[in-house]
A = this chain, B = another copy of it.
Amino acid sequence: MTTVDSTAIDHEDHGDQQCHDHAAHGYISNKDDYLKRLRRIEGQARGLQRMVEEDKYCIDILTQVSAMTKALQAVALGLLEDHLEHCVVDAAVAGGPEAEAKLKEASQAIARLVRS
């Protein structure tokens, strides 16, 4: 199952499969918007390489890095909100250890975002 292969955190197949579907519904709606934003972020990464190659002024490069970091954060916060609204809520309604696992997993993802 591709989601499990690509996963960075352990979660059971069942929960993952179940959540994969919900998660997909979570951001499928504005998938194009996320892709557009990520393509822009990819472009910012290329722009930074150009600035370094052309020995652009450090401070200007740092300004671009800050802008790119903010753009990444906004994508993360959007995905997290989608995840809570779909995957976590569905697991909560279903209840049981699955719900607990999803909440723990979401809290760990939030901690990584706050600390990064």
Q: Which residues of A contact B (CB under 8 A)?
A: 2-3, 6-9, 11, 16, 19-20, 23-24, 26-28, 31, 34-35, 38-39, 41-42, 45-46, 48-49, 51-70, 72-73, 75-77, 79-85, 87-89, 92-93, 95, 99-100, 103-107, 109-116
Select which of B45, B67, B116 is within 8 A of A42 by beta carbon: B45
Q: Which residue of B lies closest to A69 (CB)?
A: B116
Copies in the complex: 4
User: Looking at the complex, which one of B35, B54, B77, B111 makes contact with A49 (CB distance below 8 Å)?
Assistant: B35
| B60-A9 in contact (CB<8A) | yes
B65:A23 contact, CB within 8 angstroms: no
Measured CB to CB, the closest approach of chain B to A13, in angstroms, equals 11
Given A61-B79, A69-B116; 8 other pairs, CB 8 A cutoff = A35-B52, A42-B46, A58-B79, A58-B83, A62-B79, A77-B107, A88-B92, A93-B95
